[in-house]
């Protein structure tokens, strides 16, 4: 995997959960564990996973209902999901697949087969350009569909966010640091939507330095202003020993030890609708 995929395991059986954490972690995945539905919802709100492994018999919610909830939300409907459950009847499998699950695996399962199915689901999402591997956000067709669905609707707004002044940042700190900056921006925008938006909001990655938010028109200006202002407030932290000179520049040290004054990265917003 060129970028470390993030797998959310929603499983209340501690023995199975820990086995999956260790196994998938050893295969290069970043694994997060949720023992129940509510913890899973909170985890997804904080950071979108690349893929979800869902048990059906959870202590607080039926796994089918949990997937239905995720599939109804614009921010989570594109996350690949695999059911991992003891329910092995054909009707159970059909019900799970009809809800939009990408695969259905019954317990007991073979770990190597599970790994291949997880790998296939992640790679299929990448081939179909469903999510951006560095940020985990929907991209490609999914992002375009959400934007098109909002166009012409007076109650919806489309905001395009763009990272500015990234050229000098990339030149001096490299592509790994740039990837970290993209991930930070995705998490930052997600936090803003959690605080200022609604469950109907969409967040996507249009490519490189461009992100898109589809939200309520009534809250668009607040979301735009909050995202840009808070990003700017903390922008110096992305530079080694970064110290703000003024609104537009930062004094920082490069990996080679050279002290330079650079244009500081900014997050600007353009309201398309």
Domains 6-127 and 140-271 alike in fold:
no
Cα 150 from Cα 216, distance rounded (Å): 10
Report pLDDT for 87. Answer: 87
Average pLDDT of the segment spanning 138-162: 94
What does the DSSP 8-state code read for residue 77? T
6-127 CATH fold: Rossmann fold (3.40.50)
Do 181 and 159 touch, CB atoms closer than 8 A?
A: no
pLDDT band at 129 (very low <50, low <70, confident <90, very high): confident
Beta strands in the chain (DSSP E): 6-10, 30-34, 51-54, 81-85, 103-106, 156-164, 202-207, 210-216, 243-244, 249-253, 259-263, 266-271
Burial group, residue 46, by CB count within 10 angstroms (0-12, 13-18, 19+): exposed
Measuring CA to CA, which residue among 44, 34, 101, 36 is closest to residue 68? 101
What is the pLDDT of the chain when averaged over all its residues? 93
Does residue 166 register a pLDDT over 50? Answer: yes
The pTM for the full model equals: 0.85
In angstroms, the CA 128 to CA 141 distance is: 8
Q: Where are the domains of the chain?
A: 6-127, 140-271
**pLDDT recorded at residue 223:** 98
Structure tokens at 184: 């930070």
For the stretch 213-263, pLDDT in tens is 999 999 999 999 999 999 999 999 999 888 899 989 999 887 778 888 999
Given a cut of 50, whether residue 1 has pLDDT beyond it is no
CB 181 within 8 A of CB 265: yes
For domain 140-271, give the CATH superfamily.
Reverse transcriptase/Diguanylate cyclase domain (3.30.70.270)
């Amino acid at each position: 995997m060129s970028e470390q995929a993030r797998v959310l395991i929603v499983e209340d059986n501690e023995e199975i959960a820990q086995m999956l954490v260790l196994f998938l972690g050893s295969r290069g995945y970043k694994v997060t564990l949720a023992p129940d539905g509510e913890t899973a919802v909170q985890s997804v709100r904080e950071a979108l996973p690349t893929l979800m492994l869902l048990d059906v018999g959870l202590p607080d919610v039926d796994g089918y209902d949990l997937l239905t909830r995720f599939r109804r939300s614009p921010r989570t409907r594109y996350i690949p999901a695999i059911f991992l459950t003891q329910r092995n009847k054909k009707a159970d499998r059909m019900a799970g697949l009809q809800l939009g699950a990408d695969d259905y695996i019954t317990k007991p399962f073979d770990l190597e087969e599970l790994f291949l199915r997880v790998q296939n689901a992640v790679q299929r999402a990448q081939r179909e350009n469903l999510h951006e591997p560095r940020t985990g956000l929907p991209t490609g067709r999914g992002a375009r569909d959400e934007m098109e669905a909002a166009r012409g609707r007076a109650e919806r707004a489309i905001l395009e966010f763009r990272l500015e002044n990234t050229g000098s940042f990339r030149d001096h700190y490299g592509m790994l640091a740039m990837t970290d900056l993209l991930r930070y921006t995705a998490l930052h925008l997600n936090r803003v939507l959690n605080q200022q938006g609604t469950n109907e909001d969409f967040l996507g990655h249009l490519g490189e330095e461009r992100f898109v938010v589809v939200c309520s028109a009534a809250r668009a200006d607040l979301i735009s202003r909050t995202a840009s202002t808070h990003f700017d407030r903390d922008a110096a932290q992305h530079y080694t020993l970064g110290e703000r000179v003024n609104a537009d520049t930062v004094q920082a040290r490069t990996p080679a030890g050279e002290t330079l004054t650079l244009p500081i990265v900014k997050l600007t917003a353009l309201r398309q609708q």
